[in-house]
C-alpha cells in the first residue's frame, strides 16, 4: 500500500497547488488557469478526433454490423450465419457442470463441424455486461430470467425461441419466464424448484419418522421445535426472497399477481410474520446467522436439521458432505395452499453474434431430452421439457419432490429493474427478526410499482 500512500501524498501536494492557484499567488494564477483551459481544450479535441475515427472497439451501428455479416438480423427474427467459431460462456457450479457442458458442446461440434469453445465466467453478470457494452459478447451464454428484460430492452439479445423445434415441449411457466414483450427469447436450459431437505440422522435421533414429515405450517412449527437443540436449529434458509418467498407463496401471496405488484398483501404480511416469529424463538435461522454459507452447508455441518434448498443441493452434498444422509420432501402447505419457487436459466443468444444460426442449433441440441438427462445426472437440475419428466423421475425417485413442485411453483419477477428491487428486499429481509414485516413489504411494493409503470 506504499503505492497508494505515495500517490495520495502527492495528491495533497496537488491540492496545495490548486489552492494556491485559487488563492492567487501573484502572476502565476492567470497563466495556470489559462494553461489548464488550454490543455482541456486540446484533449477535448483529441476525444472528438477519436470519435470521428470511429474507434475500432465499437460497433457504432448495429445495422452496419449486421449487413457486414451479409445477413439480416435483429428485429426481423432472421438469424445471422457465418463460419465463425462459437463462444459459449457459462456460470458453473463446479467441475461436474463444466465438464458436462464441455463434453456436450464438443460432441455437437464434432457432429456439426462448427467449432465452439466453452469458458467459465468468474462473475457472469459482470462479464456479460462488459461483453455487451464492448460489442464482443459470447455467442451463447447462461442467462437468468431477471436479466432478460434489461438486456432485451437495450437490444443486446436476439430472440430465437420461436425458431426452436422443441419449443412446445418446454414447460409453460418456463416459456413465460423467458418471454418479454410477447417474444419467447431463449431456450430454458433446465430448472430447479425449492423443497424441504431433511438431515435423516438428526430426524431419527429426535424420534421422528417419515410419518412426521410436515404437511402444514403447524406441523413445521411443531417439528422445528422438536429438532432445535443447543447444537442445531430446526430449519435454516438463506436470508433472501429466493428462499423466504416460499412462505409468501404458501400463504397465497407473492410479489406479483396478474403482472401487477402485490407485495404488500395481507398474505405476504402473514408469511413474513410467521417466519419472523420463528426466527425470534430460535427454531428457524438464516444460514449466515449460524455460520453457514448456504443451506447445504448448514445441513452438512449439522447446524440445521432441515433446510430449504433446490436441486443443486444434491451436487453440493455429494462433493462436500458425502456421508450425510438426507431426504427431500415437498414443502408444507400454508394457509393459501402449496407453494414454492422455481429457478431457471436459459441459453441466451447475443444480438452481436455473427453466427446466431449455429448458436440456436446448439441451444436446441443442449436442451434435447437426451442432453438434459445427462446434465441432470451430472449436476442436478431438472430437464426443462415435459417429455423428459418421466424418465427423470424414474432415475431420481428420491428427488421426486422437486419435480412435484413444478406444478405450483412461482417465479421471480422479471421486470426491468427487478434485480434491484429484490436486492433491496433481501437487504431488508436480513434484519427481518427486528424489522416490521408490513413496512418492509410496503417499501417493496412501492419499488415494484416504480418499475412496473
Partner 1 sequence: MSQPTKKSEPVKIHPALTTRGGSRSATPLGQLLLYALLVSLAVIYVFPFLVQIATSFKTDAEAASDPISLVPQIWTTQAYEHLFLRSDFPLWFLNSAVVTLLVTLGRVLFVSMAGYALARLRFRGRGLVFALVVAVMAVPGVVLLIPKFLVLKQLGIYDSYAGMVLPLLVDAAGVFIMKNFFESIPASVEEQARIDGAGTFRTFWSIVLPMARPALITITILSFQGSWNELSHFIVSTQSPELTTLTKGVAQLASGQLSQGTQYPLKLASAAIMTIPVAVLFFIFQRHIMNTSEGAIKG
Partner 2 sequence: MTALTKSRRAKGSKLQRGEGLAGWLFTSPMLLILGLFLLIPVLMALWVSFSDWSGRGSPLSGSVNFVGLDNYRDVTSGGGLDERNFGISMRNNAWYVVLVVPIQTALSLFLALLVNRSVLRGRGVFRTAFYFPSVTSSVAITVLWLFLFSTSGVINKILSWIGVNGPNWFNDPRGVVHVLLDKIGISGGPEALTSSSFLGISLWEWSSGPSIAMFALILMAIFTTSGTFMLLFLAALQNVGAELDEAGMLDGAGAWRRFWSITLPQLRPTVFTVVTLGLIGTWQVFDQIYTGTQGAPGKTTLTPAFLSYQTAFTGQKWGHGSAIAFILFVIIILLTLFQRWALRERPVPKRKRLRRLKSRTEEGSGA
Name the site residues for partner 2 (rule: CB under 8 A): 1-2, 4-5, 8-9, 11-13, 15-20, 25, 28, 39-40, 43-44, 46-47, 50-51, 55, 58-62, 125-126, 129-130, 132-133, 135, 150-151, 153-156, 239, 286, 288-291, 417, 419-421, 423-424, 427-428, 430-431, 434, 447, 450
The nearest distance, CB 208 to partner 1, in angstroms, is 27
The nearest distance, CB 430 to partner 2, in angstroms, is 4
Nearer to partner 1 among residue 120 and residue 206 (C-beta): 120
Nearer to partner 2 among residue 266 and residue 427 (C-beta): 427
CA atoms within 13 A on the CB side of 373: 14
The nearest distance, CB 347 to partner 1, in angstroms, is 19
Report how far residue 176's alpha carbon sits from residue 161's, in angstroms, rounded to the nearest whole number: 11
The nearest distance, CB 301 to partner 2, in angstroms, is 10
Partner touching 93 among partner 2, partner 1, none, CB below 5 to 8 Å by kind = partner 1
Nearer to partner 1 among residue 35 and residue 446 (C-beta): 35
Nearer to partner 2 among residue 27 and residue 172 (C-beta): 27
Nearer to partner 2 among residue 208 and residue 349 (C-beta): 349
User: Which residues, in sequence order, are CB contacts of 101 under 8 Å at separation 6+?
Assistant: 88, 90, 92, 118, 366, 375
Report how far residue 137's alpha carbon sits from residue 154's, in angstroms, rounded to the nearest whole number: 14
* Residue 25: C-alpha distances to residues 16, 17, 21, 39 (Å): 12, 10, 7, 21
Report how far residue 14's alpha carbon sits from residue 33's, in angstroms, rounded to the nearest whole number: 14
Report how far residue 105's alpha carbon sits from residue 116's, in angstroms, rounded to the nearest whole number: 7
Nearer to partner 2 among residue 153 and residue 318 (C-beta): 153
Q: Hey, what's the cell of 43? A: 484533449
The nearest distance, CB 178 to partner 2, in angstroms, is 18
Partner touching 428 among partner 1, partner 2, none, CB below 5 to 8 Å by kind = partner 2
Nearer to partner 1 among residue 33 and residue 439 (C-beta): 33
Q: What does the buried/exposed string (b/e) look like for 108-140 if buried means 16 or more CB atoms within 10 Å of the residue's CB?
A: bbeeeebebebebbeebeebbbebbeeeebbbb
The nearest distance, CB 193 to partner 1, in angstroms, is 19
The nearest distance, CB 258 to partner 1, in angstroms, is 36
Nearer to partner 1 among residue 271 and residue 317 (C-beta): 317
Nearer to partner 1 among residue 13 and residue 407 (C-beta): 13
User: Which residues, in sequence order, are CB contacts of 397 under 8 Å at separation 6+?
Assistant: none
Residues 158/349, Cβ–Cβ less than 8 Å: yes
* Residue 305: C-alpha distances to residues 107, 221, 341 (Å): 42, 13, 21
- Identify the bridge partners of residue 108 per DSSP, sorted by sequence position: none
Nearer to partner 2 among residue 308 and residue 366 (C-beta): 308
Partner touching 44 among partner 2, partner 1, none, CB below 5 to 8 Å by kind = partner 2
- Tell which residue, 392, 347, 349, 348, has the closest CA to residue 369: 392
Partner touching 420 among partner 2, partner 1, none, CB below 5 to 8 Å by kind = partner 2
Nearer to partner 1 among residue 136 and residue 173 (C-beta): 136
DSSP 299-365: HHTTSEEEEEEETTHHHHHHHH-TT--EEEEPPPBBTTB--EEEEEEEEEEBTT-S-HHHHHHHHHH
Partner touching 35 among partner 2, partner 1, none, CB below 5 to 8 Å by kind = partner 1
Partner touching 131 among partner 1, partner 2, none, CB below 5 to 8 Å by kind = partner 1
- Tell which residue, 339, 305, 365, has the closest CA to residue 108: 365
Q: Which residues bind partner 1 (CB under 8 A)?
A: 1-4, 6-7, 9-18, 31-32, 35-36, 38-39, 50-51, 55-58, 93-95, 119-123, 126-127, 130-131, 133-136, 293-294, 296-297, 301, 316, 319-320
- For residue 383, give the DSSP letter: P
The nearest distance, CB 416 to partner 1, in angstroms, is 20
Q: How many residues does the chain have?
A: 453
Partner touching 417 among partner 1, partner 2, none, CB below 5 to 8 Å by kind = partner 2
CA dihedral (234, 238, 244, 250) positive or negative: negative
Q: Burial, 71: exposed, middle or buried (Cβ in 10 Å; 0-12, 13-18, 19+)?
A: middle
Neighbours of 448 (CB within 10 A): 23
Partner touching 94 among partner 1, partner 2, none, CB below 5 to 8 Å by kind = partner 1
- Tell which residue, 338, 335, 313, 308, has the closest CA to residue 324: 313
The nearest distance, CB 187 to partner 2, in angstroms, is 22
Task: Indicate the pairing of strand 256-257 with strand 183-184.
Answer: unpaired
The nearest distance, CB 83 to partner 2, in angstroms, is 25
Partner touching 56 among partner 2, partner 1, none, CB below 5 to 8 Å by kind = partner 1
The nearest distance, CB 299 to partner 2, in angstroms, is 16
Report how far residue 94's alpha carbon sits from residue 320's, in angstroms, rounded to the nearest whole number: 12
The three-class DSSP label of residue 119 is strand
Amino acid at each position: 500500500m506504499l503505492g497508494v500512500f505515495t500517490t495520495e501524498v502527492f495528491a495533497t501536494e496537488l491540492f496545495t497547488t490548486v489552492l494556491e492557484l485559487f488563492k492567487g499567488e501573484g502572476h502565476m494564477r492567470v497563466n495556470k488557469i489559462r494553461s489548464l483551459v488550454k490543455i482541456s481544450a486540446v484533449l477535448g479535441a483529441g476525444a472528438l478526433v477519436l470519435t470521428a475515427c470511429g474507434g475500432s472497439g465499437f460497433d457504432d451501428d448495429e445495422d452496419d454490423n449486421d449487413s457486414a455479416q451479409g445477413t439480416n438480423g435483429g428485429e426481423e427474427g432472421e438469424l445471422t450465419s457465418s463460419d465463425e467459431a462459437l463462444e459459449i460462456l457459462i456460470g458453473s457450479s463446479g467441475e461436474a457442470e463444466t465438464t458436462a457442458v464441455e463434453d456436450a458442446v464438443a460432441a455437437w461440434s464434432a457432429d456439426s463441424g462448427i467449432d465452439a469453445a466453452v469458458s467459465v465466467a468468474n462473475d457472469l453478470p459482470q462479464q456479460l455486461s462488459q461483453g455487451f457494452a464492448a460489442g464482443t459478447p459470447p455467442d451463447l451464454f447462461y442467462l437468468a430470467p431477471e436479466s432478460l428484460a434489461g438486456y432485451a430492452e437495450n437490444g443486446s439479445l436476439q430472440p430465437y425461441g420461436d425458431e426452436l423445434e422443441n419449443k412446445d415441449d418446454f414447460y409453460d411457466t418456463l416459456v413465460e419466464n423467458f418471454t418479454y414483450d410477447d417474444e419467447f427469447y431463449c431456450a430454458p436450459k433446465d430448472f430447479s424448484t425449492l423443497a424441504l431437505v431433511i438431515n435423516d440422522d438428526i430426524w431419527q435421533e429426535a424420534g421422528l419418522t417419515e410419518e412426521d414429515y410436515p404437511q402444514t405450517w403447524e406441523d413445521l412449527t411443531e417439528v422445528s421445535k422438536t429438532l432445535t437443540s443447543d447444537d442445531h436449529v430446526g430449519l435454516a434458509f438463506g436470508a433472501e426472497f429466493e428462499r423466504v418467498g416460499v412462505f409468501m407463496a404458501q400463504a397465497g401471496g407473492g410479489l406479483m399477481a396478474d403482472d401487477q405488484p402485490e407485495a404488500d398483501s395481507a398474505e405476504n404480511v402473514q408469511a413474513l410474520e410467521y417466519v419472523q416469529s420463528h426466527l425470534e424463538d430460535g427454531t428457524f435461522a438464516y444460514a449466515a446467522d449460524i455460520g453457514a454459507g448456504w443451506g447445504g452447508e448448514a445441513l452438512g455441518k449439522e447446524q440445521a436439521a432441515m433446510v430449504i434448498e433446490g436441486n443443486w443441493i444434491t451436487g453440493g452434498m455429494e462433493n462436500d458432505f458425502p456421508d450425510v444422509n438426507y431426504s427431500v420432501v415437498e414443502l408444507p402447505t400454508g394457509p393459501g395452499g402449496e407453494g414454492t419457487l422455481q429457478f431457471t436459466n436459459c441459453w441466451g443468444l447475443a444480438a452481436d453474434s455473427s453466427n446466431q444460426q449455429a448458436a440456436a442449433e446448439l441451444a436446441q441440441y443442449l436442451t434435447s431430452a437426451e442432453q438434459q438427462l445427462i446434465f441432470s445426472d451430472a449436476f442436478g437440475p431438472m430437464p426443462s421439457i415435459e417429455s423428459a419428466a418421466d424418465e427423470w423421475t424414474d432415475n431420481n425417485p428420491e428427488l421426486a419432490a422437486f419435480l412435484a413442485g413444478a406444478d405450483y411453483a412461482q417465479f421471480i419477477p422479471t421486470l426491468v429493474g427487478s434485480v434491484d428491487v429484490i436486492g433491496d428486499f433481501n437487504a431488508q429481509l436480513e434484519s427481518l427478526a427486528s424489522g416490521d414485516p408490513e413496512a418492509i413489504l410496503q417499501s417493496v411494493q412501492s419499488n415494484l410499482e416504480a418499475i412496473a409503470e
